[in-house]
Amino acid sequence: MSIHFTKLTKPKKSLAYSSYWRFAVKRHNVFVKRLTDPYGPWTDDPAIRDNRFTNIFRASDRVSQYLIDLQYNEQEIAQIFFKTILFKIFNKIETYRYLERELGKVDSISFSLEKYDELLTLRMASQRPIYSAAYIMPSAGRVFGYKFKHTNHLALLAKMMKDKAYNKIVETKSLEEVYKILLSYPSFGNFLAFQYTIDLNYSSIINFSEMDFVVAGPGAKSGINKCFDHLGDYTYEDVIKLMVESQEEECERLELELPTLWGRRLQLIDCQNLFCEVDKYLRVICPELNGSTGRTRIKQKYTFSKGAISLFFPPKWNINHKLTPLCLTKANADMFL
């Protein structure tokens, strides 16, 4: 009896495909130049100069950096989990700092849904945004029944702590298991559950490779559809894996210097996020391409911010010793000097 194997049809690259790699290199060069030159200019590409794009390595972005520093100033599993989820629900540094300032201390032991709700309601009433514009987290109002979205999200956090979800997560054997635990809670769709999984994996409570698992979000899917005429028999996630596997080859083909994070290659989460950013980039340089999100412009323009950039990455990545002292956060610099 003969066995027949079906050969998968590969994705077909579009004319815009190479923009993925060219954008990646240009955007990373901006990041690298800013470390030693706080004023610029850092690029001659007007699309990158005038619009806001995240760093190509997710962990080097401002919000991720704040979270990682927060995580490694804690040792207790419950506290790391609590602070990670609380911070990511709003995904806004200013909101977290506001809570710290008003409460004196943010932790799961003193957590009061009523007090946190009161403070956030006051901030919202003063016309100050409490959520990041980066993505929208569904309200979970149907489950918890509160009037305001933030109150329902605080109730969600309270439920996760009551369930001791952190203990379940510590016992997982893969990123996908962590993802499924988060996905079982209201408000966590596929995209957010995966993003929060990556955020928890930055911390010391779990330690999985970022090459183990990926979920393509709406923005990534739109970017993929612009970079490929068709996907063949591949899924969106397969395409992201293909990009990771071919990064050296593609940069060599285009005569580009491979972007790395002090030797750390682009991981699945990075290539997923890169498709989101390339989707935005192509709205500017190739406006005739219609993505699946239906968006035709970029929401946020670039705004100049002064000051030195402090960087600190999960110690398990073993790259902090490669950074210059100026790139380390004050809280953690003494660990590596």
Q: Tokens at residue 99, please? A: 């809570």
Last residue of a domain, one of 183, 202, 221: 202
H helix intervals, 53-148:
62-71, 77-90, 93-103, 113-125, 141-144
Q: How far apart are CA 277 and CA 267, in angstroms?
A: 15
Please write the tens of the pLDDT for every residue from 228-248.
Answer: 999 999 999 999 999 999 999
2 assigned to some structural domain: no
Residue 280 within any structural domain of the chain: yes
Q: Is the pLDDT of residue 332 over 50?
A: no
Residues 215 and 157 in one domain: no
For residue 191, the enclosing domain spans 73-202
Does residue 334 lie in a domain region?
Answer: yes
**How would you write 262-308 as a 3-class SS string?**
CCECCCHHHHHHHHHHHHHHHHHHCCCCCCCCCCCCCCCECCCCCCC
Residue 67 lies in a domain: no
101 and 38 together in one domain? no
pLDDT average, residue stretch 264-284: 97
Examine the domain organization and report whether 144 and 111 are in the same domain.
Answer: yes
pLDDT-derived band of residue 309, with 50, 70 and 90 as boundaries?
low
pLDDT tens, position by position, 84-124: 999 999 999 999 999 999 999 999 999 999 999 999 999 99
Q: Is residue 68 part of a domain?
A: no
Partners of 230 in the β-ladder: 12
Give 138's pLDDT tier (boundaries 50, 70, 90): confident
Tell me, yes or no, whether 281 and 317 share the same domain.
yes
Same domain, 266 and 159: no
Which of 152, 167, 202 is the last residue before a domain boundary?
A: 202
Model confidence, pTM: 0.90
